[in-house]
Chain A
Amino acid sequence: MLELKQMNRAVIVGHKNIFEETVDALHKSNLFQIEDFNEDKSGLHIGRPFENVDAVSKKLIKIRSIASLLGVEDAESKKQSKSAVLSSLDDTLEKLDAELDVKTEKKSQLEAEIKEIDSLKKELLPFSNISLDLDLYRGYEHLSVFTGYVDDNVESAVSKITSSYEIFYDAKEGTIVLFVAKEKSDEVTGLLADYGFREIRVPQISGMPAQALSEITSKEAGLIKQIESIDAEIESLKDKYADFILASNELLSIEAQKSEAPLRVATSESTFMIDGWVPEEDFPKLEQIVKTATNGRAFVSKQEMTKGDENVVPIEYDNPKAATPFQEIMDLYARPKYKELDPTLLIFISFPLFYGMILGDIGYALILLALALGIKKAVSSEAIKPLMNVLIYCQISTLIFGVLYGEFMGFPLASLTSHGETVAGLIPGFATMDLFASPIGGEMITYPVHRTHLVMTLIVFTALLGLIHINIGYMLGFINENRKHGMSAAIMEKGSWIVIELGLLLAILGYAAVLPAATTYAGVVVFLVGFVMLLKGEGIKGPIELPSLLSNSLSYTRIIAVGLSSIYIASTVNLIAFEMIWEPGTPIGGATIGAIIVFLAGHALNTVLSIIAPGLHSLRLQYVEFFGKFYEGGGRKYNPFGYIRKYTEE
C-alpha cells in the first residue's frame, strides 16, 4: 500500500548477430524501458540502425502524408492480422498513392483554373455595363483609347477639346472608355488627370463583356462542381482505405521503432549492450523472453541501483484497479519520486469525500452521474475515461452526502421547524428529527443535516477535519523524510510539527480549564521544545510557516462555505421560479412556462458550477494543504520499449 512498483536496472548483452532478435523480443514484451546511451570515453559507440530503416521510414512518411491528406482519424476498428496487412502493404500503398496523386493533381489544376477565372472576372467587372465588343478596344493606328475610372462624366470637357471622339461612360461603376484622335491624346490625358483618372487594363479576350462575364461565371460553377466530385471521390477513398492506413501506420511505426532502437544502445565491434529498467516482478519474465528469443545466447543481468539511479528511475504506479483513475490527478501535479510514498490511495478516499461534502445534493449527483456515464460510453478517448471515472466516484460520494443532508436541487427533502415557523419539505410527512445538541453555537444536530442551520458547528467540524488531514500529511512526510535523510531529520522536520500541535492543545485545554491550570505551562514548554526542533530542522523557514497551521486548517472551512454558496444559488433559482414567477397551485399559464425556463436554465448553470467549484476546491485541498506537508514529486514516467497495438495483431 502507498508504494510504487519496485524497479530493477538491467543490462542485456549479446553478440551483434542476435541483435535484431533481441530487440524484437523486447519490443514484443513491452516491459523494458531502454535508457539512452550517450557516447563517452569507454570506447563503446551508439549502434547503427537496422538495414530496413530507410525503406520503412520512406513508407511511413508516405502513409502519414496520405493519412493527413485524407484526414484519417483514430477510430475503433477490427484488428487485422499482421501478415495480411504486410503482404498487401506495398501494392496497396502504391495503388492508393497513384490514385490519390491523380486526384490531387486534377484538383489543383482545377483550383488554378478557378483562380484564373477569378482574376479575369475582376478585370471584366468594370466593363460589364459597356456594350462594346472587347475586340474593338485595341489595334488602332490613329486612335488613342483611354480606359479607366474617373470621378465624374468628362464628356462635356472632352467635347471642348475635340469634336471627333467616342465616349462610353458607366456612371454606376465610374468607368469610361474614350476614343480620341492620337494628336489630341496629350491634351486629353491632361484633362483626365484633373478628373482623377485611373487607368485599368482591358481583358485580353474578345466578345461582349457582359456575355463573357456570364459565360465564365457558369464555367466557374462547373469547375466547382468538378472539385466537389473529386472531393467526394477522395472521401470515398478515405472510407475504403481508412482501416488499411491505420493498420499499416501502426505496423510501420512499430518497425521504425525497432529499426531505430540501436541508436539508443551501446555497441562495440561485435557486441551490443542494452541498458534499462524493468519492474522487479517482471524481471524473471524478461529474462525468459530474451532467452527463448535468442536460444540463451543473450545475457540478462540485474544491476545494483546507485544513488544517482534513484533520480532517474522511471516510475510506475502500483495501485488497486479501482484507484487507478486517481493516478491522473497525481500526474496532473507530478509523479512521485522513487523513494516517496504514493498517495494515490489516500486521494482516492479524500478527494471524493471532500467533493461530496461540498456538493451533497441528490439531484445534482444524479444528473452528473448520468452525464459522466454517458460521456464515458460515448467517448472512446483514453484521456477522458479516467476523468469520468473520477467524476463517477465523486458523484457516489455526493449522493451519500445528499441523503445525509436531505437536499434535492436546493429543495430540502424534510420539513424543518425552527423559531415556531415550519418550512415545508419536498417529501410530505417527512419531518426533520432532532438528534442531539451541538456543543457549538447552541445548534441542534438533526437528521437530515440542514447545513444552513448548522453553520457554526460545521465550520468547526470542517476545520477539525482539516487538522486531521494535515496531520496525516505530516505523518507521511515523516516516513518520506526518514527514507530520504534518516530518522533524525524526520523527527526535526516533520515530528516537530506534531510536538508543536500537542503543546498548543495542552495549553489551550489548560487555559480553558478543561484540564488543571498547570497543564497550560506544560503545554507552553512542549510547544517551545517543538519550536526549537522545527528551527533546527527547517531553519528560519520553519517558524515563518508556523501560522500556516492555523490558516491551513481554516482553509478546510471552504468545504462548508462553498457548499452553502451552491445551496443558496440553487434555492434562489427555486425561489425565483416557483414563488416570484409562478406559484404552484395557482392557475397554469404563460407564467408556468417562464418558471420552468428559469428553473432549467438556473439549474443548468449551477450544474456546471457544481463540477468546477467543488472539484477545484477539493483538488486544491489535496494539492496545497495536503501535499505541501510531504510530497515532492518529479518522477519520470515508466514508458517501456514496445507498442500497444490497436489496429493489428500478430
Chain B
Amino acid sequence: MATETLTAMDPAGLKAIGAGLAVGLTGIASGIAEKDIGSAAIGAMAENESLFGKGLILTVIPETIVIFGLVVALLING
C-alpha cells in the first residue's frame, strides 16, 4: 500500500504570502494609476510651472491604495 504523504500548510507562511500579495498588488495598482496622472502633471507643469503643487498632490492621490495595502499587510501580521 502506498503511503500518503500529508503536507500541512504552515499558517505563518500563508499569512506571509497574503501580506506580500496585499502590498505587491496594491503597489502595482498605485503605479498604474500614478503613471497617467504623473505624465499629465509633468505636461501641465511644462506649460505653467506654478502648477507644481497641484500636480504633486494629484500625482500622490493614488498612493493611498498602496498605503491601505501596507496597512492590511500589517493587520495580517499583527
Please indicate which of the listed interface residues A459, A558, A560, A565 has the most CB atoms of chain B within 10 Å of its own CB. A558
Chain B residues near A334 (CB-CB < 8 A)? 53-54
Scoring A residues 326 to 354 as 1 if CB is less than 8 Å from chain B, else 0, what string do you get? 00000111100000000000000000000
Structural contact, B75 and A554, CB atoms closer than 8 A: no
Q: Does A561 contact B (CB under 8 A)?
A: yes
Q: Which A residue sits closest to B67, measured CB to CB?
A: A558
Among A561, A616, A620, contact of B74 (Cβ-Cβ < 8 Å): A561
Among B61, B68, B70, B74, contact of A624 (Cβ-Cβ < 8 Å): B61
Measured between alpha carbons, how far is A616 from B64 in the docked complex, in Å?
12
Scoring B residues 32 to 57 as 1 if CB is less than 8 Å from chain A, else 0, what string do you get? 00000000000000000000111011
Structural contact, A455 and B74, CB atoms closer than 8 A: yes
Among A333, A554, A561, A564, contact of B57 (Cβ-Cβ < 8 Å): A333
Q: State how many angstroms separate the Cβ of A589 from the closest Cβ of chain B.
A: 35
Q: Does B11 contact A (CB under 8 A)?
A: no
Measured between alpha carbons, how far is A599 from B1 in the docked complex, in Å?
57
Q: State how many angstroms separate the Cβ of B13 from the closest Cβ of chain A.
A: 19
Measured between alpha carbons, how far is A596 from B61 in the docked complex, in Å?
38
Structural contact, A557 and B60, CB atoms closer than 8 A: no
Structural contact, B64 and A555, CB atoms closer than 8 A: yes
Measured between alpha carbons, how far is A455 from B74 in the docked complex, in Å?
7
Residues of B contacting A: mostly:
helix
Structural contact, B53 and A456, CB atoms closer than 8 A: no
Measured between alpha carbons, how far is A454 from B3 in the docked complex, in Å?
46
Q: Does B71 contact A (CB under 8 A)?
A: yes
Q: How large is the interface on A (under 10, 10 to 19, 20 to 34, 35 or more residues)?
A: 20 to 34
Structural contact, A561 and B67, CB atoms closer than 8 A: yes
Q: Does A562 contact B (CB under 8 A)?
A: yes
Structural contact, A557 and B67, CB atoms closer than 8 A: yes
Q: How large is the interface on B (under 10, 10 to 19, 20 to 34, 35 or more residues)?
A: 10 to 19
Known: A332-B53, A565-B70. A456 touches B60 (CB 8 A): no
Structural contact, A441 and B78, CB atoms closer than 8 A: yes
Measured between alpha carbons, how far is A565 from B61 in the docked complex, in Å?
19
Q: Which A residue sits closest to B60, measured CB to CB?
A: A620
Measured between alpha carbons, how far is A215 from B68 in the docked complex, in Å?
75
Structural contact, B75 and A459, CB atoms closer than 8 A: yes
Structural contact, B53 and A333, CB atoms closer than 8 A: yes
Known: A551-B64, A554-B68. A564 touches B78 (CB 8 A): no
Q: State how many angstroms separate the Cβ of B23 from the closest Cβ of chain A.
A: 9
Scoring A residues 447 to 491 as 1 if CB is less than 8 Å from chain B, else 0, what string do you get? 000000001100100000000000000000000000000000000
Measured between alpha carbons, how far is A218 from B52 in the docked complex, in Å?
54
Chain A residues near B57 (CB-CB < 8 A)? 333, 619-620, 623-624
Chain B residues near A456 (CB-CB < 8 A)? 75, 78
Known: A456-B75, A564-B74. A333 touches B54 (CB 8 A): yes
Measured between alpha carbons, how far is A334 from B55 in the docked complex, in Å?
12
Q: State how many angstroms separate the Cβ of B16 from the closest Cβ of chain A.
A: 14
Among A332, A333, A459, A624, contact of B71 (Cβ-Cβ < 8 Å): A459
Known: A441-B78, A455-B74. A623 touches B53 (CB 8 A): yes
Q: State how many angstroms separate the Cβ of A554 from the closest Cβ of chain B.
A: 7
Chain B residues near A564 (CB-CB < 8 A)? 70, 74
Chain B residues near A623 (CB-CB < 8 A)? 53, 57
Q: State how many angstroms separate the Cβ of B26 from the closest Cβ of chain A.
A: 11
Q: State how many angstroms separate the Cβ of A469 from the closest Cβ of chain B.
A: 15
Structural contact, A557 and B53, CB atoms closer than 8 A: no
Measured between alpha carbons, how far is A467 from B32 in the docked complex, in Å?
29
Structural contact, B63 and A459, CB atoms closer than 8 A: no
Chain B residues near A624 (CB-CB < 8 A)? 57, 60-61
Q: State how many angstroms separate the Cβ of B51 from the closest Cβ of chain A.
A: 10
Among A455, A555, A558, contact of B78 (Cβ-Cβ < 8 Å): A455
Chain A residues near B74 (CB-CB < 8 A)? 455, 459, 560-561, 564
Q: State how many angstroms separate the Cβ of A180 from the closest Cβ of chain B.
A: 64
Structural contact, A616 and B60, CB atoms closer than 8 A: yes
Chain A residues near B64 (CB-CB < 8 A)? 551, 555, 558
Interface residues of A in 543-599 (CB under 8 A from B): 551, 554-555, 557-558, 560-562, 564-565
Scoring A residues 303 to 333 as 1 if CB is less than 8 Å from chain B, else 0, what string do you get? 0000000000000000000000000000111
Q: Which A residue sits closest to B57, measured CB to CB?
A: A623
Chain A residues near B52 (CB-CB < 8 A)? 332
Chain B residues near A555 (CB-CB < 8 A)? 64, 67
Known: A333-B57, A334-B53, A620-B57. A557 touches B78 (CB 8 A): no
Q: Which B residue sits closest to A552, measured CB to CB?
A: B64
Chain B residues near A332 (CB-CB < 8 A)? 52-53, 56
Chain A residues near B63 (CB-CB < 8 A)? 558, 617, 620
Q: State how many angstroms separate the Cβ of B38 from the closest Cβ of chain A.
A: 13
Chain A residues near B54 (CB-CB < 8 A)? 333-334
Q: Which B residue sits closest to A332, measured CB to CB?
A: B53
Measured between alpha carbons, how far is A554 from B75 in the docked complex, in Å?
13
Q: Which A residue sits closest to B66, measured CB to CB?
A: A561
Chain A residues near B75 (CB-CB < 8 A)? 455-456, 459
Measured between alpha carbons, how far is A474 from B54 in the docked complex, in Å?
21
Measured between alpha carbons, how far is A282 from B71 in the docked complex, in Å?
53
Measured between alpha carbons, how far is A557 from B61 in the docked complex, in Å?
14
Measured between alpha carbons, how far is A565 from B52 in the docked complex, in Å?
27
Measured between alpha carbons, how far is A623 from B57 in the docked complex, in Å?
7
Q: Which A residue sits closest to B23, measured CB to CB?
A: A565
Among B61, B67, B78, contact of A562 (Cβ-Cβ < 8 Å): B67
Q: State how many angstroms separate the Cβ of A498 from the closest Cβ of chain B.
A: 24
Q: State how many angstroms separate the Cβ of B53 from the closest Cβ of chain A.
A: 4
Measured between alpha carbons, how far is A334 from B50 in the docked complex, in Å?
9
Structural contact, A561 and B71, CB atoms closer than 8 A: yes
Measured between alpha carbons, how far is A562 from B64 in the docked complex, in Å?
11
Interface residues of A in 98-150 (CB under 8 A from B): none
Measured between alpha carbons, how far is A620 from B61 in the docked complex, in Å?
8
Among B53, B70, B78, contact of A561 (Cβ-Cβ < 8 Å): B70
Chain B residues near A455 (CB-CB < 8 A)? 74-75, 77-78
Q: State how many angstroms separate the Cβ of B10 from the closest Cβ of chain A.
A: 18
Q: State how many angstroms separate the Cβ of B70 from the closest Cβ of chain A.
A: 4
Give 6 CB contacts A-B under 8 Å.
A334-B53, A558-B64, A558-B67, A561-B70, A565-B70, A616-B60
Task: Identify the 4 closest CB pairs spanning chains A and B, nearest first.
Answer: A332-B53, A561-B70, A558-B67, A623-B57
Q: A554-B71, A623-B57 are in contact. List 18 more A-B contacts (CB 8 A).
A: A332-B52, A332-B53, A333-B57, A455-B75, A455-B78, A557-B71, A558-B64, A558-B67, A560-B71, A562-B70, A564-B74, A617-B60, A617-B63, A619-B56, A620-B61, A620-B63, A623-B53, A624-B61
